Structure 1
């Protein structure tokens, strides 16, 4: 028998989606081990093409490794600023990560054995990346439902990060995730609050044939 969700349960799901934020400001503290396990289980429950489950999660606990990741992000931040030209100074005023303040730091990577999966990838090999993105979104929404902030940091050179973390040959890091308690969630996406960008309305992005 198909299980149905109540109106209150549906509203809660849509509220979590609407109030998810890419967080950059954290208040330290800690994440309860049971909560962290639930969040990772939610990520692991994500759909994946051919059930390949290409995601790998690395919990960074060594402060020296955490600092090394922060250094890689700082290098890429400067390089990004150079590419932005006239918006460089404006960009450099933005807070782009919370690596030093977050309670937990996770690195999500593609596993080294993903190329053996053909189902769903013969003509679209990038579906392994799409599958990992689904896992990260699950993790993000689960974290928000637990009243924890999460920020996805993508400013790093993948090979340098893989070397720093001594990842297995063939692995590819896709995300550095800052996770932990926050004093408040942004009312709007931070880049909107900082007037860096404005989201496009849905109707501009839906076409009909």
Structure 2
């Protein structure tokens, strides 16, 4: 199958306008089973090492379960906030960093450890987990193409979430996602809009052939 310049531009627009959605932007409108199935189907088309497809999706609509997850989010948020300067802590406290309660659907995405050897998975075993991340990116892009929002909640203790969801041995939590219809998609990412961070230029992320001593000196300077 061959694609056109129009298809290329449309894909770039989807990537440019993908957003991490928070609870203050979700609508109460329910997701249909057909909408959810499209997003999950997109996930399963992702590349995976050795065609292992090592993903498992736990769909969570139960309010009590989400409330338990949210309590852990509150605890971990309080702990995380202490790592920043006092000024940053004040701004941090004003940020809405989840949509666990507000989104109609939560999805916990797990990596499942292989029972048998996987082609390409021996030297760098983490590539199995990276495969799951590829699936998550597919979900994000498909959701955006459907004008549905998705947010990734990373301020959680995986062990606590495992206990809440009764995850079996051999399952590793990769992402906790909140999905639903939204009020709006911001023109630029919210943290960029609030000047929490600035977007890097493409060229700041490129190294040709090898890392140089000049790169190390510049990197050390940035760390200081």
TM-score bin, normalised by smaller chain: over 0.9
Q: What displacement does 1:8 show?
A: 2.3
The answer on 1:194 being equivalent to 2:182 is no
Match of 1:50 in 2: 50
Contact conserved, 2:52 with 2:118, CA < 8 A, in 1? Answer: no
TM-score after normalising by structure 2: 0.88
Question: Cα deviations across residues 7-35 of structure 1 (Å, max 9, x unaligned)?
Answer: 32222111111100111121120112112
Contact conserved, 2:63 with 2:101, CA < 8 A, in 1? Answer: no
Match of 1:84 in 2: 84
User: Out of 7, 14, 22, which is 1:9 matched to?
Assistant: 7
Which protein has the larger Cα radius of gyration, Structure 1 or Structure 2? 2
Q: What displacement does 1:45 show?
A: 0.6
Match of 2:37 in 1: 37
Contact conserved, 2:49 with 2:118, CA < 8 A, in 1? Answer: no
The answer on 1:166 being equivalent to 2:170 is no
TM-score after normalising by structure 1: 0.94
Unaligned segments of structure 1, at least 5 residues: none
Q: What displacement does 1:6 show?
A: 2.4
Match of 1:66 in 2: 66
Unaligned segments of structure 2, at least 5 residues: 210-224
Q: How many residues align?
A: 206
Displaced runs of 4 or more, over 3 A? 115-118
Q: What displacement does 1:115 show?
A: 5.9
Contact conserved, 1:54 with 1:128, CA < 8 A, in 2? Answer: yes
| 1:12-31 pair list within 5 angstroms | 12-24=10-22, 25-31=25-31
Match of 1:103 in 2: 104
Match of 2:128 in 1: 128
* Cα RMSD (Å): 1.3
Query: For residues 166 and 99 of structure 1, what CA distance do their matches in structure 2 show?
Result: 18
